[in-house]
């Protein structure tokens, strides 16, 4: 759980931001960093999805959703991510 993670957050091939965040931060912290990097209003539902061990899909939801686990319960360093792994940040379920 030590160290720093660097995420390349892409909206399009030529529109992306690099976000560096500590392993002890949560996905809620990453969500907030993405919102700030793109000047988004935090006015839509969102979730994070990725393929975890053995090809199983994992997803995490905002703390106010009925489903869990929630983005503020899990630290980035606990996710078991590897270099080059893709994570989907789905913001605004209606417009994606």
Where do the domains of the chain lie? Answer: 4-91
**Residue length, the chain?**
96
β partners of residue 1: none
Taking a C-beta distance cutoff of 8 angstroms, is the pair 42, 30 a contact?
no
pLDDT by residue, tens only, the chain of 96 residues: 679 999 999 988 899 999 999 999 998 999 999 999 999 887 777 888 877 666 666 766 666 667 667 777 888 998 888 888 888 888 876 666
Q: Which two tokens stand for residue 27?
A: 């996905």
Rounded distance, CA 29 to CA 11, Å?
19
Phi, psi of 69 (to 5 degrees): -75, 155
Q: Which two tokens stand for residue 80?
A: 């078991």
- CA distances 15 to 9, 18, 56, 59, 91, Å, are 9, 11, 29, 24, 16
Note the pTM of the prediction, 2 decimals. 0.82
Taking a C-beta distance cutoff of 8 angstroms, is the pair 45, 93 a contact?
yes
CATH architecture group of domain 4-91:
Roll (3.10)
Please tell me the predicted confidence (pLDDT) of residue 47: 82
């Amino acid at each position: 759980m030590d160290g720093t993670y660097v995420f390349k957050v892409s909206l399009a091939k030529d529109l992306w931001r690099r976000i560096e965040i500590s392993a002890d931060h949560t996905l809620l912290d990453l969500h907030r960093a993405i919102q700030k990097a793109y000047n988004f209003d935090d006015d839509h539902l969102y979730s994070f999805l990725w393929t975890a061990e053995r090809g199983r899909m994992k997803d995490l939801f905002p703390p106010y959703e009925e489903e869990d686990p929630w983005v503020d319960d899990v630290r980035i360093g606990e996710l078991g991510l590897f270099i080059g792994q893709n994570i989907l940040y789905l913001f605004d379920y209606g417009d994606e």
